[in-house]
Amino acid sequence: MSEFGQGRQVKRLRIYIGEADRWRGKPLYAALLEILRLNGIAGATVIRGIAGFGARSRIHTATILRLSEDLPLIIDVVDTEESIHKALEAIFPMVREGLITVEDVKIIQYTHRYLNPLPADRPVASVMTRDVIAITPETSVASGWEKMLEHNVKVLPVIDAERKVVGILTDEDLLERAGLNQRLAIATRASPDIVNEEIKSLRQLPLTVRDVMSSPVITIRENESLGVAAALMLKKGVKRLPVVDNNERLIGILSRLDVIRQVAAQPLEVPLPLQGSGAYQKVGDIMIEQVPIVNRDDPLQRLVEAFQVTNSHRLIVVDEQGKAVGLISDSDLVSRIQSDQQRSILNALRQLGKPPAIKVSAYDLMSPGPLTVSSNISIVQAIQMMMAEGRKWLVVVDEAGKPIGLVDRPILLRAITMAYGA
């Protein structure tokens, strides 16, 4: 439930009554539970005491047998302030003898099995990718980039002679510290001439992987649980974790996509009592509402500006009615125009110049048919759809088909990991 996010300040309602208390011929605790449920309370627990006394209770004998006739009960409720106050209005007349308290509490964890689609107990070794491409610190940056291009991987673990992880090299490291001009996603779709020029420039640099890699590296043991690994990814803000054995030697790598795939493989099971209760997370609870939109007739100049302003790698294309009709990525801009114009596009995206003066629109460059859903579908359904279609983005639309939000892999990882203390 979005209202019960970890760290959220909410209210705890406690109702102290006796087991013998009645309301309209039925036990008071049962009547109170029914009223709480009808008023939208997420859940309530009845706690039965083994002994006690209240304002009018007396012990008449030396034993406690007398107390068993009316044992104390506590009804414990945790919910939002608004929900608690609404419930109080209904239960005040029902508690004619007893005690009602309300206090502030902080949510540390709120979950149940339908909010935990991730098989968290699964060992990392059963999920990780074992065929890992690695390099050494002495490798030149040009060779490192060539290996990324050859295997189409954005991350390369850096290992020493004993296969211990000493660093990690990403295309972002090469962009920031070696002067690389484009991300891997763009480079793999650019013309061979541009790619070869980039490699030639890197070869002229007296830099090795050691000079530009990220270090120290966050790793995970092979026997650690998937829940711990996912929480670590989220906490540290990393997309991949090198997996090591008990001797700290590299044996695999765990990616964000590896984690999400485990949820997609789970059977979809939503119990009827939870439907509509707000306890089962939906896409609308987690989506980004700031949607980067361009019109289908927008020219190239407008598209470049939209990428720069939104700081996004993808844009949603809408038609005259505002309906989502396509997606366009920065790599689409490079790959779908003439090769002799690609250098100008790359420079424009990096704000080093203007885009070429060619007549092309968003409609000409977009990928039609974005994957769209309503805000009411479950997170597990969203993951299953994205994995089945091989998509990185899910466009959330209203009843008219107009974009109202976005869901991507980082958002999904956060949604399925929050239950594990991240």
Q: Residue 135: which of 161, 97, 104 has the closest Cα?
A: 161
**Rounded to a whole number, what is the distance in angstroms from the first to the last CA of the chain?**
16
Class of domain 124-264 as given by CATH: alpha beta
What is the separation of C-alpha 317 from the centre of its chain, rounded to a whole number of angstroms? 24
* pLDDT, tens digit, 9 for 90 and up, residues 302-355: 999 999 888 888 999 999 999 999 999 999 988 898 888 888 988 888 887 888
Q: Show the 3-state SS of 371-388.
A: CEECCCCEHHHHHHHHHH
**Average of per-residue pLDDT values in the chain:** 87
Determine the Cα–Cα distance for residues 334 and 355; give it in Å rounded to an integer.
11
Q: What is the mean pLDDT of the segment spanning 262-291?
A: 67
Decide: 13 and 72 in contact? Cβ < 8 Å.
Answer: no
User: Do 124-264 and 272-420 fold alike per CATH?
Assistant: yes
Q: Residue 148: which of 199, 97, 104, 208 has the closest Cα?
A: 199
Share of the chain above pLDDT 90, in %: 61
Share of the chain above pLDDT 70, in %: 87
CB contact set of 89 (below 8 Å; sequence gap of 6+): none
Using pLDDT thresholds of 50, 70 and 90, give the confidence band for residue 12: very high
Domain ranges of the chain: 2-110, 124-264, 272-420
Q: What is the mean pLDDT of the segment spanning 380-384?
A: 90
* pLDDT, tens digit, 9 for 90 and up, residues 75-115: 999 998 999 999 999 998 899 888 999 999 987 766 555 55
State the pLDDT at residue 272.
Answer: 40
Strand partners, 403: 397
Per this entry, what is the length of the chain? 422
So what's the architecture of 2-110 in CATH? 2-Layer Sandwich (3.30)
Residue 44 φ/ψ, nearest 5 degrees: -150, 150
DSSP codes, 223-253: TSBHHHHHHHHHHHT-SEEEEE-TT-BEEEE
Lowest mean pLDDT among 10-14, 22-26, 53-57, 191-195: 53-57
Specify the pTM: 0.73
Q: 272-420 has which fold? A: CBS-domain (3.10.580)
Determine the Cα–Cα distance for residues 7 and 192; give it in Å rounded to an integer.
50
pLDDT at 237 over 50: yes
